[in-house]
Amino acid sequence: MTSSSITYASVTAELDHPIDTVWARIAAFGGLEDWVEGVSACSVEGEGVGAVRTVVRVGSSVRERLEVIDPVAHVLRYQILPPHHLPAAAVHGNVLLRALGEARTEMVWRSDARDFTVAPELLGARIEAFYAASIEGLRRVLAAG
Neighbouring CB atoms inside 10 A of 105's CB total 23
Amino acid at 14: E
Give a yes or no: residue 1 inside a domain: no
Give a yes or no: residue 20 inside a domain: yes
pLDDT tens, residue by residue, 109-140:
999 999 999 999 999 999 999 999 999 999 99
* Centroid of chain to Cα 117: 22
* Total domains in the fold of the chain: 1
Domain with 12, as residue range(s), is: 6-144
Report the alpha-carbon distance of residue 136 to residue 11 in Å, rounded.
12
pLDDT tens, residue by residue, 59-114:
899 999 999 999 999 999 999 999 999 999 999 999 999 999 999 999 999 999 99
Report the alpha-carbon distance of residue 91 to residue 112 in Å, rounded.
6
The enclosing domain of 69 has a CATH number of 3.30.530.20
